Structure 1
Amino acid sequence: MSAIKRVTNTSEAEALAALLNGEGRTKPTVVVTVASGHAEPYADVARIAAEIGDLADLYLVTTGGHTWAFSNKMTPGTQVYGGAGRVYPIGLGWNTDLKQAPLRFAWSKAEGRKLTAQLVDDALDMAAAAGLFDSARTAATRERRSGTIVSIMSERALVDLGSGDMASIPPQLAQAGVAIERVLTPGMLVDGVLEKKSRWLDIRETRPTAEDALKAYVAGDVVPAEVRSVLAGSADLRLHPDVTVELFRSEVTDDPNDDLRALLTPGEVVLARVVAAGPRWRLSLRGVGEHDHAREALALYVGGPPWLDPDAPAPTVEHGETGDSGESGRSGEPVEAPEPVAPAELAPPPARRPTAPSPAMMPRRKGGSVRAIPPTAVASPAPAPEPAAAASPAPAKKAAVQSMSLQVTAIKAEKAHLEAELADLRDQVSGLRNERVQFAKDLARAARQVETRDAELARMRSQLRRAKQRTAPAEVTLPVFADRERGFRHLVEAAWARRIPVGEQAIRPLPDFAIGERFLDSVDALEGIAVDKIADVVMEVLTGLAEHAAGRELHQLRTSSGGNAAPQSRPDGAVCYRVSMQIHTPSARRLHFWKCPDGTVELSRVVVHDDVEP
């Protein structure tokens, strides 16, 4: 169990900031804060300490002025206060990439359970990424055990090891990054290494490799895949948690102007056709319809459930980190927590009844004694009248009494003014607290609305993609030629006939061209772009369309990156040119060709962006 280190003063707060920003940490660091006006955190720090064990350090920052000291020593955006929590991974990458150390919120004690679970999962994820699960093992603290999954609860799989001995499996010890219910199911038999202290059962070494699991898929199969990320012209799909396949626009839609971000949602499960099996997987969404018989997703463990469910509802977009009430950061960008509250604002002093001035408030006489003032002198702005029979005081004595009476009156007036100011400030603080509560409710309501809109948007993307698939013309099987060169020339001519209107074909003829000895081999070897797309670009080069298309970026290929570098040329006077076949996609593909002195085009190679060899 991890020790809970309390941060209660400025020196401890500054020391914590120095630790986080230093190079000496060997474990993730969990920092939990206490909301203003509360004595205990919303998160259950005892549970956090029990679950993270020795894999992370745990700090509890109490409320007070030292929260400012901590914040002032941290990079803007990396602080934590106001009842929130954050886990800082090993290293300093989180200083520039806030997604590495997500800020987790709670607005009440009721939301503390979710906050606790988020912080535990963050800590375990970071420990697993750092290899601490394996390095923490010793022969004295582990043993091999097997058992049966009896239930899935609180994002853990509960395992019966026999004779009433129980253990649990967190996702990080089964398949990191995948919900435990998509990996394990009640009734499964599991085998692994038991950590005696934490009672965790590590079953990762019994998980089949991705290569073995994916042997079940062959070319032509329609299979579920998870959308991992989406750009305008490409997307990453996961067939297996460890296997990501890059998908390009032409493999999703017929329209070259479609933005894939309008058709796919990260986290969505789609059906894709296997075009080429591993190790170089290729997938396509084109032509996949509801009538196609889809194979079941792979099970990550023998006897486990499919890790993907194509019928699951479309995911909502993650809006940063939050408690149940949600929060307002978008696309993983953290939002600011409430400002740390100054100690004076934490507990306004209770109102007290005015009291009579003490002797310490009176001017001192020589000899250090203080003349007592009768109560009537304190209560009245002027000296009380004396009985007629009494002897009149000396003029000096009377002046002193009047002076003290005026001072008392001034003090009382100033005190009344300060009390009025204090009451006004208390009203303002009370109003601000009420506003904060209302803002939190409004924020929660807005977050729920955003989640609803995100779900609707994800469904509309899926419907739009399916509608395009239904209305798209059926794919025509390309003719196959025994002679590769003849086959490619056919594709170029077909592109010209398809794209150049009949009325313009006479003024924009397709000239003859040469095919270099390395060109067709490079076409066969290049992945991520269809051969008919390459033929389209070649046709644009031959007819002059590429010169006027901004997206083609037609230019001479130079001998170096210098602005004055000479173009690549051959002894026969031919100059090498480079044209874009894709833009705004990773490893965008390029076409290299030679323009000979007589104007003839000779195709050289198709390459990825970073390949600048002619």
Structure 2
Amino acid sequence: MVRRRRKDKRSNAGHPVTAVEPEQPRPPEPVRVATPDEARELAQLLLGAGREAPVVVVSTPLGSEAPWIDADALAHYGRGLVPVYLLETGRTSYAFADAMPEYTQVYGGAGRMYSPDLAWATDWSRSRLFLATDPESGRRATDGLIGELARILPRGQRPQATQSFKGTVRMLVPPSRALVEGAQENSPLAMISPEESVPALNVTVGQLVAAGQQVEGRHDATTGYLDVSASLRSAGQALDGLEAGEVILVRVAAMTPDELVVEPYPQVTVRIPKMSVTANPFDSLDDLFWIGAVVRARVDSTAGGLSLSMDDVDDDEPVRPAPSLLPGGPPWLEEAGEAAWEGADLVSGGADGMPAPEPRPGAAESPAAASRNDVAAEDRADRGVTVVPSPLGVGGVAEGDARGRRIIELERSLADARERLARLAERLDQEREQTDHLRMELSLTSQLYREATREVAQLTERLQHSMAQHRSASRRLAQRRSERDAARDETGRREDSARAEPLFLEPEDQLRHEIYLAWAQLTPPQDKAQWPSRPTTSWVPVSSAPWMRLRAWITSAC
């Protein structure tokens, strides 16, 4: 072998050596669970106390082999550290549901992540259920599960960036992706995901970056994700410069009957008492707000911590723009779009049906402008165009102001209705999820009831059969006892009759016979030779008293 290797070296002398690239490991793939036995084994794995890594279970829609949730993307993100199982809906998912605690099942296209601490086994809210019924909801569920993995995996176990990367955001793909073009030539496209970079902030990609923004971070060529968490602005930098009296935007994080918890910046919470939110003591905070709502608040004080109030904020007050999460990024909070009446022109008409400009109050019309207006009016009249007077021009300024106020009131009512509709939609989703859980529980309960009913029927049948056998045995035992007693009585009667009836005609012979029987029955076998029975030739008359007593004694002894 040594000579052969030396010969090979000599034969290859002078030729260039080609570097052999190491074989790239295959990306992990989800494990398909296709049988009830495999489903029960999966449930046993999830409920095992020795499990150290989270597990993701994704189910397929009924009648389909492909899930709406991207199980391959989840397995790719987990890098083999997080097993991903693909559960088929049907008999397999039913077996999985039977083996799992209530409210922790997965079926019908939904997905869950099961943490290793097993707290979800007794509190199902610890394992969030992501529903998917179409491609759009499947993408949202995939992003949500990736966010769950990013939150639970230690930083060292997440997909690690391999090289620095600078680029420009070219496109947003709501709700959770942004495409970044590298600054260098031949740089690959990168993706920014809030679930990957800042999972704890609970923001969308539109709150993190904007198209055209310059970003930098660490790029993982395997997953394609760009981690921009190192560029995240701190809360102190973002909130620096706030002054008392300013109106800012905050996000509702939580609420209780007595206070509202808001975030002027992610993970910075400020508690506002109810009396500083509304002056009406009968108002309910959960009727006025919902989790995630963007509202206005006034800065009361910044000394010793940020203090906010909301009861004296007017709608027409200027609002300080919310800070950005990344340098050069968009405000992380924005109010809902402008109301229809804000900045709108209430004058309709115009040469081409477009709104005509409203002259400024007090501005004098020049002769040239008046001439142009007259010519335009004649031209519109010749073309048959009807001029609709401006609402502000009919009846004076007061009438226009009244209509404007009415429009403002209608817009506010519409905004309130939209807020209530959003809250109702959220509650409806929660009720639907709870209904699905209850329906599953009812199905499992019905199945258990049917099985228990069958078992009770079988036990009842066995009990009746055992009771019938017991009654039959009791009857046979009673019959045998009666037959035995009757046989004993018959034997006793025969013995008594045999004893009562004489066997000889002569009394002396009968007495001799009875004496012999008494000797045979009362004398032990070993004593019969010593005490033999001797025949008696002379007898005392049997009618004498001694003989009568002897005979009575013999009869009683035998």
Q: TM-score range by the shorter chain?
A: 0.5 to 0.7
Which protein has the bigger strand share?
Answer: 1
Q: Is the 8 A contact 2:130 2:144 kept in 1?
A: no
Partner of 2:261: 236
Q: Please tell me whether residue 75 in structure 1 is matched to residue 101 in structure 2.
A: yes
- Do residues 128 (structure 1) and 234 (structure 2) align? no
Structure 2 counterparts to residues 297-336 of structure 1, below 5 A:
297-312=322-337, 316-317=422-423, 328-330=429-431, 333=434, 335-336=436-437
- Whole-angstrom CA distance in 2 between matches of 1:339 and 1:172: 31
Structure 1 pair 338–85 and aligned structure 2 pair: CA distance change class (3 A): farther
C-alpha distance in 1 between matches for 2:237 and 2:197: 17
Name the CA distance, whole Å, in 1 between partners of 2:326 and 2:259.
30
In structure 2, relative to structure 1, the CA distance for the partners of 1:237 and 1:328 (3 Å cut) is: closer
Q: What's the offset of the Cα at 1:103?
A: 2.1
Contact 1:34 1:40 in 2 (8 A): yes
Partner Cα distance (2:101, 2:51) in 1: 17
Distance 1:39 1:246 in 2: 49
Provide the identity percentage.
29
> Do structure 1's residue 41 and structure 2's residue 67 form an aligned pair?
yes
Which among 150, 170, 178 is matched to residue 150 of structure 1? 170
Q: CA deviation at 1:257?
A: 3.8
Letter in 2 for 1:329: Q
The alignment of Structure 1 onto Structure 2 pairs a total of residues equal to 331
Q: Structure 1 unaligned runs (5+)? A: 322-326, 343-614
* Correspondence for 1:286: 311
Runs of 5+ in structure 2 lacking a partner? 1-26, 338-414, 445-558
Q: Which moved more, 1:90-99 or 1:292-301?
A: 90-99
The structural deviation recorded for 1:18 is 1.9
Assess if the C-alpha contact under 8 Å between 1:30 and 1:119 holds in 2. Answer: no
Name 1:101's counterpart in structure 2: 127
Distance 2:191 2:438 in 1: 34
State the alpha-carbon separation in 1 of the partners of residues 331 and 167 from structure 2.
Answer: 21
More helix by share: 2
Residue 189 of structure 1: CA displacement? 1.3
Tell me the equivalent position of 1:357: none
- Contact 1:80/1:337 (CA < 8 Å) preserved in 2? no
Query: In structure 1, what is the Cα distance between the partners aligned to 2:122 and 2:440?
Result: 22
Mapping of 1:431-510 within 5 angstroms? none
Distance (Å, rounded) in 2 between the aligned partners of 1:251 and 1:82: 46
Compare CA radii of gyration and give the structure with the larger one.
2
Looking at structure 2, the residues matched to 144 and 164 of structure 1 have their Cα atoms a distance apart, in angstroms, of: 11
CA 1:319–1:57: 2 relative to 1, 3 Å: farther
Match of 2:198 in 1: 175
* Cα distance in 2, alignment partners of residues 276 and 211 from structure 1: 15
Is the 1:48–1:119 Cα contact (8 Å) retained in structure 2?
no
Partner of 2:37: 11
Aligned residue runs from structure 1 range 192-591, under 5 A? 192-277=217-302, 280-312=305-337, 316-317=422-423, 328-330=429-431, 333=434, 335-336=436-437
SS in 1 for 2:437: coil
Offset at 1:156?
Answer: 0.7
Q: Distance in 2 between the 1:256 and 1:114 partners?
A: 40
Q: Give the TM-score of the pair, scaled to structure 2.
A: 0.54
1:333/1:204 CA distance change after superposition, 3 Å: farther
Q: What is the rounded CA distance, in whole Å, between the counterparts of 1:94 and 1:225 in structure 2?
A: 32
2: CA distance, partners of 1:225 / 1:34: 39
Summarize the Cα distance change of 1:143–1:214 in structure 2 as closer, same or farther, 3 Å threshold.
same
**In 2 relative to 1, CA 59–137 (structure 1 residues): closer, same or farther, beyond 3 Å?**
closer
Q: Describe the SS at the equivalent of 2:191.
A: strand
Q: Which has the higher contact order (CA 8 A, sep 6+)?
A: 1
Q: Deviations over 1:448-502 (max 9, x none)?
A: xxxxxxxxxxxxxxxxxxxxxxxxxxxxxxxxxxxxxxxxxxxxxxxxxxxxxxx
- Matched residues in 1 for 2:145 and 2:52: separation? 13
Contact 1:102 1:320 in 2 (8 A): no
Q: Secondary structure, in 3 states, of the residue corresponding to 1:127?
A: helix
**C-alpha separation in 2, matches of 1:307 and 1:217:** 16
Question: Is this contact kept in 2: 1:35–1:41, CA < 8 A?
Answer: yes
Q: Deviations over 1:428-452 (max 9, x none)?
A: xxxxxxxxxxxxxxxxxxxxxxxxx
Assess if the C-alpha contact under 8 Å between 1:329 and 1:335 holds in 2. Answer: no
> Which stretch of structure 1 is more off in the superposition, 173-182 or 203-212?
173-182
- TM-score, L = length of structure 1: 0.49
SS in 2 for 1:165: coil
- Quote the offset at 1:95 in angstroms: 2.8
User: Which amino acid is the alignment partner of residue 431 of structure 2?
Assistant: R
